[in-house]
Amino acid sequence: MSYPVTRLRRLRRTKPLRELVRETELSAAHLVQPIFLTAGEGVREPIEAMPGIERLSISESVAEVTELAAAGVRAVLLFGIPSSKDEYGTEAYDEEGVVQMAVRALKEAHPEVVVMTDVCLCEYTSHGQCGVVRDGADPGDVDNDLTVELLAKTAISHAEAGADAVAPSDMMDGRVATIRHQLDEEGHSRVPIVAYSAKYASAFYGPFREAADSAPQAGDRRGYQMDPANADEAVREALLDLEEGADVVMVKPALPYLDVIRRVKDETGAPVAGYHVSGEYSILKAAAAAGWIDERAAAMESLTAIRRAGADILITYFAKDAAGWIAEEEARR
């Protein structure tokens, strides 16, 4: 006689039984909401390709974080859209830049909220590359070492403003070591580095580039972002970043790379962040708007899958909504 099939069914039979054996929890404690900052006063600019997400001026971002905290989201990731761009991305490391000012305002209003900052030059350079391109070089040929110096400067300016963590997203070689070293030298040894370690050259960043006005004017990012075909390389990148002093390693995008999240988690044992990126968000929003998909169910399933794959931290444009849905489910139990 054998019973295994019936037993399995019995465990799925009722909601309390299912919840008793559930392997993955989705809770608001793991969620990070990205925020796009822009200059000005009282600005809330919708982003066409990302329904529900807006570019916010500083005072609006403070109001937004009040709402996020009330919903249970305790971490944000800041991106800045500067008022002017140049070849060296100068506003990225300007003490009075939009991110630096927002960090001060947010930490003052919400000291309990974790404020992370994206460290990259692509929103700040006139050509839209993630670093400096020397005169006469090909458009996608970023000067690695010079860029790393400017990134470290940017990270330090964020730490000086009070950021709780810095997140370099540029994919230059050696940037984690340099940023760690310079943060330590400047007295910011307690500021952790959330490294975008396995950042793929992905088509799913399209809507973000509209939001941040950061599409490369010429060339692409395949010279420094990863080939979607590679997974061993992602593990190597994560191990390298950890050796250089990263505290958290990130895989980005998330859903097309769940295998990579799992491998990075298993092979490093480090805290892993999964970034459910703009395109992943927009796909669900568009299908839901057309009435083709249940937005809430599809979003929750996606986020649970990223957690199940091994991500500790979930960076997602759904953070605020997801926190609300999670609270609703808790209340219904």
Shortest spacing between CB 331 and ligand PBG, in angstroms: 30
List 178, 278, 282, 316, residue binding ligand PBG (CB under 6 A):
278
- 94 scored as a contact of ligand PBG (CB under 6 A): no
296 binds ligand PBG (CB under 6 A): no
Q: Is the bond leading into 253 cis (omega within 30 degrees of zero)?
A: yes
Instruction: Check 15, 85, 107, 199 and give the catalytic one.
Output: 199
Judged by DSSP in three states, 111 sits in coil
- Which one is catalytic: 252, 265, 285, 320? 252
The region of 62-70, 116-124, 140-148, 288-296 touching ligand PBG under the rule CB under 6 A is 116-124
Shortest Cβ 120–ligand PBG spacing (Å) = 4
Given the complex with ligand PBG, which of 154 and 169 has the nearer CB atom?
169
**Spatial separation of the C-alpha atoms in residues 202 and 256, rounded to whole Å:** 10
Residue 77 to residues 65, 263, 268, 269: CA-CA distances in angstroms?
11, 25, 24, 23
Nearer to ligand PBG, 11 or 203 (CB): 203
Q: Give every CB contact of residue 35 below 8 A, 6+ residues apart in sequence.
A: 56, 61, 64, 65, 76, 77, 78, 79, 102
Rounded to the nearest whole angstrom, what is the least distance from the CB of residue 204 to ligand PBG in the complex? Answer: 6
Counting contacts by CB under 6 A, is residue 120 touching ligand PBG? Answer: yes
DSSP string, 34-87: EEEEESSSS-EEE-TTSTT-EEE-HHHHHHHHHHHHHHT--EEEEEEE-SS-BT
Given candidates 122, 159, 242, 246, which one binds ligand PBG under the rule CB under 6 A?
122
Q: How far is the CB of 36 from ligand PBG (least distance, A)?
A: 10
130 in contact with ligand PBG (CB under 6 A): yes
Active site residue 199: yes
Contact pick of 60, 64, 118, 237 for ligand PBG (by CB under 6 A): 118
Start-to-end Cα distance in the chain:
37
Choose, by CB under 6 A, the member of 250, 277, 299, 306 that binds ligand PBG: 277
CB-wise, 109 or 146, nearer to ligand PBG? 146
* 166 is an interface residue for ligand PBG by CB under 6 A: no
- In the structure encoding, which two tokens stand for residue 325, read together? 């849905």
Min dist. Cβ of residue 2 to ligand PBG (A): 49
Tell me if 269 sits within 8 A of 256, measured CB to CB.
no
Using the structure block, give the residue that is written with the tokens 């974790």: 114
| Shortest Cβ 172–ligand PBG spacing (Å) | 11
Alpha-carbon span 220 to 197, nearest angstrom: 19
Comparison of 113 and 122: residue with beta carbon closer to ligand PBG: 122
Q: How far apart are CA 66 and CA 264, in angstroms?
A: 34
Secondary structure of residue 329 in the 3-state scheme: helix
Residue number with CB closer to ligand PBG (286 or 332): 286
Applying the rule CB under 6 A, the residues between 189 and 218 that interact with ligand PBG are: 205, 208-209
Return the range that interacts with ligand PBG (CB under 6 A); candidates 3-11, 115-123, 226-234, 257-265. 115-123
Q: Is 15 exposed, middle or buried (0-12, 13-18, 19+ CB in 10 A)?
A: exposed
In the residue annotation, 252 being an active-site residue is answered as yes
Taking CA atoms, 114 is separated from 49, 76, 246, in Å, by: 27, 6, 17
How many positions of this chain bind ligand PBG (CB under 6 A)? 10
Strand partners, 174: none
Residues contacting residue 162 through CB under 8 Å, at least 6 positions apart? 103, 104, 107, 115
Residues carrying an active site annotation: 199, 252
The footprint of ligand PBG (CB under 6 A) covers 118, 120, 122, 130, 169, 205, 208-209, 277-278
